[in-house]
């Protein structure tokens, strides 16, 4: 068992993301995606601050350089404020299962952005993996029309675009954050990104005069419970396990194992939420997972 701790951590990460996505979908439908975003950032910061104080001796990332703060703050604005805002609204519009499937496009999108802006080369096998990943997603969100000549979307186009926007924002956030995380603690880096997210949403709340709605949402004990569960299993435990997995095993293997979250959400949606799951969706999800695996060969 000890020889497979890395693989176990990676699979556990996928379970954590599944729990987080489900919990946040439930919370978002109760209090709205905007309130949820700020709430889970506050909760996530509490968990991370306690953890970094125990492991690093710092409650906040005061040891980061000015350059690291700059890059990680920008990463947080792009990945969390823009990316997560869009993704969480997609949870409300089309559900966590389809949203997380579309979110699997983050690796190919990250590869494309790294190629364009960082000049990082891509091997033929990586390009193939990108194509397979996107083909798997397309097979789920695109369906033939009644006359078999037109192609239509299987879910509301607004939700699909929001999920892709969330994936693009997260991919861009990763690329920007790469400059700030080059030689800095990943957990403290996450703290800075969360601080950027809280600041960004605070500004949006002031502009949209949304504070009253936010404080009212804090009275929803049912929403607070699911938000706390999602924040614990996502920003805290999920990140911790994923980093441990990368330390113990090949990063490509770790990334592939953690990307099975959409597959894990299928039985939950079928047995618990009583959703109708088409065979086409199951096959498309598996194809997407294969594509992600190919990218990291």
* CA–CA gap between residue 192 and residue 60 (Å, rounded): 9
For residue 283, the cross-strand partners are none
pTM (two decimals): 0.89
Question: Which tokens sit at 41?
Answer: 């950032």
pLDDT at position 179 is: 83
HEC profile of 112-161: HHHHHHHCCCCCHHHHHHHHHHHHHHHHHHEEECCCCCCEEECCCHHHHH
pLDDT at position 146 is: 63
* CA–CA gap between residue 217 and residue 248 (Å, rounded): 40
Residue 251 confidence class, pLDDT cut points 50, 70, 90: low
* CA–CA gap between residue 227 and residue 41 (Å, rounded): 10
71-89 residue pLDDT tens: 999 999 999 999 999 999 9
23-73 residue pLDDT tens: 999 999 999 999 999 999 999 999 999 999 999 999 999 999 999 999 999
């Amino acid at each position: 068992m000890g020889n497979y701790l890395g693989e176990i951590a990676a699979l556990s990460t996928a379970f954590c993301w599944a729990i987080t996505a489900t919990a946040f979908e439930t919370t978002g439908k109760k209090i709205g995606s905007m309130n949820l975003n700020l709430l889970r950032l506050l909760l996530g910061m509490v968990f991370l601050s306690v953890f970094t104080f125990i492991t690093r001796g710092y409650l906040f990332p005061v040891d980061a350089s000015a350059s690291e703060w700059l890059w990680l703050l920008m990463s947080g604005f792009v990945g969390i404020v823009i990316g997560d805002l869009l993704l969480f609204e997609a949870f409300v519009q089309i559900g966590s299962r389809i949203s997380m499937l579309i979110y699997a496009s983050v690796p190919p999108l990250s590869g494309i952005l790294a190629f364009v802006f960082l000049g990082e080369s891509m091997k033929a096998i990586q390009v193939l993996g990108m194509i397979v990943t996107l083909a798997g997603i397309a097979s789920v969100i695109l369906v033939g029309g009644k006359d078999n000549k037109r192609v239509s979307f299987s879910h509301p186009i607004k939700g699909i675009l929001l999920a892709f926007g969330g994936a693009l924002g997260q991919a861009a956030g990763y690329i920007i954050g790469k400059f700030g995380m080059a030689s800095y603690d990943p957990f403290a880096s996450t703290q800075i990104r969360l601080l950027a997210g809280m600041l960004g949403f605070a500004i949006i709340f002031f502009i949209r005069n949304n504070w009253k709605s936010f404080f009212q949402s804090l009275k929803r004990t049912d929403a607070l419970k699911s938000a706390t569960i999602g924040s614990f299993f996502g920003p805290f435990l999920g990140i911790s396990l994923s980093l441990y997995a990368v330390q113990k095993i090949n990063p490509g293997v770790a990334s592939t194992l953690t990307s099975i979250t959409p597959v894990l959400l299928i039985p939950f949606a079928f047995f618990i939420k009583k959703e109708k799951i088409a065979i086409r969706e199951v096959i498309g999800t598996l194809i997407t997972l294969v594509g992600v695996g190919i990218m990291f060969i």
